[in-house]
Amino acid sequence: MLDRLSFIIRLVVAFYTALACAAEQEPLVLPGYKVGQSIPVSCLNRTIDTGEHITDAEGQLSYIPFPTCNETGRPLELLFGVEKDINCTIDFIDDPFFHLLEFYVHNDAPLTCRIPTKPLPPSLLVKEFEAGTTDNTDGQGSLSEVYTPMIVALTGTLQLSHLHVSTNLNVLVHAAPRAIAPGTIAAATAYSISREPPTRIVIGDSLPLRFSVRWYPNTSLPSGWAGVGGHLTFSTLVYCILSALASAAICVAYFRGVELPRRLKSHGKDRLGGMERGGLGGYGIVNGYGYSIGKRD
């Protein structure tokens, strides 16, 4: 009896041990984002001397959180599926960051950032906001399945004593189709636009960045080009309708106020002249032979 009980206990222990080992070997299936869920942005750590990326002792790339935004007191974050304009003012541009901006603006080194493809587990999420975190997935970092690369093309011009930076940026984020991978980011990019004159920056100034975020439910871009001259808008349609109504009103007013009285007057003169030429004034009636017959005085 004891031998059978001991055998059952060993069998149960072996089963749960094997189950635990299998669970450790299977990759974690991360849940997808919910609409409005925050997405942290981290960027590749670079040296201020040459702009080269920084790696750890194992050769893994080092990522640091995006600079803190004055508006939120936190590094830059996107919201899944939410299109909005995000203001992120970096309060103080110190000397090291100013030199990095020179590399980014002059395209000597790209501003390489990344966002989690799916929500990170709590352990990784804490590391995401810790300076000097490394990418343990591969040597390139941005090719990781855990993260989606987001290259920020920051443009401007270099001067001897200052920088001109285009601080308005478009951010395009593609989500994977819901039927295939709901709540999953497929691609992302950001680039400066010339909406306003560039901002002049010197060491000690603030850098007001404005991100216009747009989301797409798949990896295809909708066509927005309608040829030279733009496309038909609601305001253009209303303008055309009002112009047609104004033209019709002018035509009606001219016809009733000028043309119609003139035609009536001309028609009346024609009728009066015809009656005078017909010889009806002395009871005369013109017969078929051209002679006037009637009462003589």
Mean pLDDT for the chain overall:
79
What whole-number distance in Å separates Cα of residue 6 and Cα of residue 22? 24
Least confident range of 5-9, 16-20, 115-119, 288-292: 288-292
- The per-residue pLDDT for 57 is 80
pTM of the complete model beyond 0.85: no
**Other CB atoms within 10 A of residue 150 CB:** 24
Higher pLDDT among residues 72 and 52, named by residue: 72
Angstrom distance (rounded) from CA 66 to CA 189: 15
CB under 8 Å to 83, separation ≥6 — which residues? 213, 214, 215
Residue 27's pLDDT is 46
pLDDT in tens, 108-118: 888 999 999 99
Residue 56 has pLDDT above 60, yes or no: yes
SS3 breakdown of the chain: % helix, strand, coil, rounded to 5? 30, 25, 45
**If DSSP codes are grouped into helix, strand and coil, which group holds residue 242?**
helix
Calculate the dihedral angle through the C-alpha atoms of 106, 111, 112, 115, rounding to the nearest 10 degrees.
-150
Choose the weakest-confidence range: 40-49, 143-152, 157-166, 181-190.
143-152
Helix, strand, or coil (residue 208): strand
Q: Report the pLDDT value the prediction gives residue 138, as an integer from 0 to 100.
A: 43
CA distance linking residue 269 with residue 247, whole number of Å: 32
What is the pLDDT, as a whole number, of residue 8? 59
The percent of residues in the chain predicted with pLDDT above 90, rounded, is: 41
Burial class of residue 114 (count of CB atoms within 10 Å of its CB; 0-12, 13-18, 19+): buried
Digit-coded pLDDT (tens) for 172-209: 999 999 999 999 999 999 999 987 889 999 999 999 99
Query: pLDDT per residue over 201-251, tens digit each?
Result: 999 999 999 999 999 999 988 887 766 555 566 777 788 888 888 888 888
pLDDT at 48: 84
pLDDT of the residue at 240 = 84
